[in-house]
Amino acid sequence: MTQLPKLSNDCFALPRGVDWTPVDVALAMLKDAMKPVVRTEQVEVIAAGGRILAKDVFAKTSNPPFANSAVDGYGFAFDSLPKQEQKTLPLIDGRAAAGQAYDATVPPNSAIRVLTGARLPDGVDTVILQEDVHIENNQVHFESGLKQGANTRRAGEDVISGELLFQAGHKIQPQDIAIMSATGVDDVNVYQKLRVGVLSTGDELVSDGNITQNAQIFDANRPMLLDLLSRWGYVAVDLGHVGDDPDQIRQAFAKGAKTVDAIITTGGASAGDEDHVSNILTQEATLQTWRVAIKPGRPLALAMWQETPIFGFPGNPVAAFVCSLIFARPALSEMAGAGWNAPRGFQLPAAFSKSKKAGRREFLRARLNDDNQVEIFKSEGSGRISGLSWATGLVELPDHKMDVAKGDLITFYPYGAFGI
């Protein structure tokens, strides 16, 4: 069995003395530390949607594989057309249709009935649309003005046999399945799906059933993150919920590390009395608590637990969501073989005004109004989960101080930019 690449055990280590890490620095270190950790397998193209290519894919045949007609009409050799303005060609017997080739040669100065998709018979290089002709006495009459090759599709005009279709690392989309199928590619080499575990921590959490004590709340993070991971194409593994108990957390990490490639935890990431996640990772794993300069999500723990990366995100659901999009998404993509995938934002006018202090990058829940301006959710509270559903994306405000006035251009990332 081949040895799989492992991540180095100190790959999250930050230089000594670094405290609040800027988002870009944290991302650059993550990018440097991550690499593909999954095996490869061969799958049929029809079942390859959402999978990540492990090898380049080349067309086996051209698209189209042969010259054919783009319309229903009449085909002939352009060079043999009569010189006069008003053209008349005798129609020969037979026709060419999609899947029913006309195997003989069409003689010069004559035309043949052809249908859309029909292979062009020998002797035909041009087709006239049936709407543009008049048929009388088994002859086709039409006016000049046609160009050679009109209404036909050249062999290989789209893709030539042997051409590179997709490079390794590409995530297969429905439209990619079309071009691979059209060019005779029936199976592809892909990475096995990355397995990512999700663990919730916190004595206050209830996963199912009823809230029985007055200090309990339902677990919102785990169901959200499991769905997010599935949408990104990973095997989302439910590692359940543990209380604020160091032994339980330790056991959950150890068990999870045996079955998954990476773990996302929420809760207990900051430095409170019951914040055991950060304590355990500090003492028993290679932890770098990145007090990352981001809002929401400042307490953000990244650690290696026996070669399994653990993303310890804050318990507040909005922070857990934003941190997953900003940090976990590109890092997991790299581990899964698809490379680092930074989201693409758009510059759009703000429909709001806001004064932002220097020091932290801020992500606000946002959506477009009817004038295509960006409006923001009424609250920045990171427990206000409903705002994530109200929004259709996030606004990013830079690390430095910024005074946003209505109409100023700001960066908006639709949720689609994060693959959801």
Ligand X SMILES: Nc1nc2c(c(=O)[nH]1)N[C@H]1C(S)=C(S)[C@@H](COP(=O)(O)OP(=O)(O)OC[C@H]3O[C@@H](n4cnc5c(N)ncnc54)[C@H](O)[C@@H]3O)O[C@H]1N2
| CA 233 – CA 373 distance, rounded (Å) | 32
In the complex, the smallest distance separating the C-beta of residue 323 from ligand MOO, rounded to whole angstroms, is 8
- Residue 366 DSSP code: E
Largest CA distance in the chain: 96
For strands 402-404 and 354-356, give the pairing.
antiparallel
Burial of 250 (0-12, 13-18, 19+ CB in 10 A): middle
Residues numbered 319 to 348 that lie near ligand X (CB under 6 A) are 319
User: From the CB of 275, what's the least distance to ligand MOO, in Å?
Assistant: 13
Using the rule CB under 6 A, is 361 a contact of ligand MOO?
no
Q: Which residue has the tokens 């990512």?
A: 196
Q: Among the candidate windows 73-81, 157-165, 293-301, 342-350, which touches ligand X by CB under 6 A? A: 293-301
Sole binder of ligand MOO in the list 92, 332, 382, 397 (CB under 6 A): 382
Residue 387 makes contact with ligand MOO by CB under 6 A: no
Backbone angles phi, psi at 315, to 5 degrees: -75, -30
Site for ligand MOO in 314-343 (CB under 6 A): 314, 316, 319
Q: How far from the centroid of its chain's Cα atoms is residue 210's Cα?
A: 37
Residue 221 touches ligand X, criterion: CB under 6 A: yes
Task: State which of residues 132, 204, 307, 380 lies at the interface with ligand X (CB under 6 A).
Answer: 204
The least distance separating ligand X from the CB of residue 383, rounded to whole angstroms, comes to: 6
Question: In the complex with ligand MOO, which residue's Cβ is closer, 268 or 337?
Answer: 268
Pick from ligand MOO, ligand X, none: which does 202 bind, CB < 5 to 8 A by kind?
ligand X
**What DSSP designation does 169 have?**
T
- Quick one: what does residue 38 bind among ligand MOO, ligand X, none, with the CB cut-off 5 to 8 Å set by partner type? none
**Which residues are CB-neighbours of 101 under 8 A, at least 6 positions away?**
118, 119, 121
- Write the CB contacts of 17 (distance below 8 Å, at least 6 apart in sequence): none
365 binds ligand MOO (CB under 6 A): no
| Cβ at position 206, least distance to ligand MOO in Å | 21
Token readout for 196 is 């990512």
User: From CA 7, how far away is CA 26, in angstroms rounded?
Assistant: 17
For residue 238, give every residue at least 6 positions away whose Cβ sits within 8 Å of its Cβ, in sequence order, or none: 197, 198, 222, 226
- What are the structure tokens assigned to 256, written together? 């999870």
The residue range among 51-59, 85-93, 105-113, 197-205 that interacts with ligand X, by the rule CB under 6 A, is 197-205
Applying CB under 6 A, what is the total number of residues that bind ligand X? 26
Place of tokens 């799906």: 193
Q: By CB under 6 A, tell whether 266 contacts ligand MOO.
A: no
Q: How far is the CB of 318 from ligand MOO (least distance, A)?
A: 6
354 binds, among ligand X, ligand MOO, none (CB under 5 to 8 A by kind): none
- The minimum distance between CB 362 and ligand MOO, in angstroms, equals 9
What per-residue string of b and e applies to 122-136 under the rule 16 or more CB within 10 Å gives b?
ebbbbbbeeeebeee
Q: Is residue 266 involved in binding ligand X (CB under 6 A)?
A: yes
Q: Is 217 in the site for ligand X (CB under 6 A)?
A: yes
**Binding status of residue 382 toward ligand X by CB under 6 A:** yes
Instruction: Provide the minimum distance between the beta carbon of 406 and ligand X in the complex, in angstroms, as a whole number.
Output: 28
Q: State the nearest-atom distance from the C-beta of 294 to ligand MOO, in Å.
A: 8
The residue among 191, 217, 228 whose CA lies nearest residue 327 is 228
Distance CA 186, CA 371 (A): 46
Give dist(CA 26, CA 22) in Å, integer: 6
Residues within window 293-312 making contact with ligand MOO, judged by CB under 6 A:
295-298
Residue of 23, 29, 45, 220 that binds ligand X (CB under 6 A): 220
C-alpha angle with apex 254: 253 to 259, nearest 5 degrees?
90
CA distance 40 to 236: 18
* Partner that binds at residue 106, options ligand X, ligand MOO, none, CB closer than 5 to 8 Å by kind: none
Tell me phi and psi for residue 305, to 5 degrees. Answer: -110, 100
Would you tell me which residues interact with ligand X (CB under 6 A)? 200, 202, 204-205, 217, 219-222, 266-270, 272, 275, 296, 298-299, 314-317, 319, 382-383
Would you tell me which residues interact with ligand MOO (CB under 6 A)? 295-298, 314, 316, 319, 382
